[in-house]
Amino acid sequence: MMSLCPYKFIFGKPKEGVHSVRLFNLAVVDTTLTILGGYMIAKYFKLNSWKVILLFFILGELLHWLFCVDTTVILWIKKILNSTKHNMD
């Protein structure tokens, strides 16, 4: 399977440029555009806005994971999985 990791900086490096504006260590621009994009798509296709926005966030995290970009959410998930793994030992 082809790895997408070599292309991880195609939209810029984490915490630099537009990704440097952060709130609770989340990229404000990415989060805002995800919400706006999900809302606009939901309204255009007459779908539930909350479900579409949630789907966009899930797809966004999946794409970040495929490109080997550790977002704050991915780091939280890794931390939870590691603590669960250690508790099972």
Taking only the tens place, the pLDDT of each residue in 55-79 is 999 999 999 999 999 999 999 999 9
pLDDT for the residue numbered 89: 58
Q: Which helix (H) or strand (E) holds 26?
A: strand 26-27
pLDDT for the residue numbered 64: 95
Gap between the Cα atoms of 19 and 28, Å rounded: 7
Gap between the Cα atoms of 59 and 33, Å rounded: 13
For the chain, domain boundaries: 19-88
Q: What is the pTM of this model?
A: 0.83
Local confidence band at 84 (pLDDT 50, 70, 90 cut-offs): confident
pLDDT digits (tens, 9 = 90+) for 29-49: 999 999 999 999 999 999 999
How many other β-carbons are positioned within 10 Å of the β-carbon of residue 71?
19
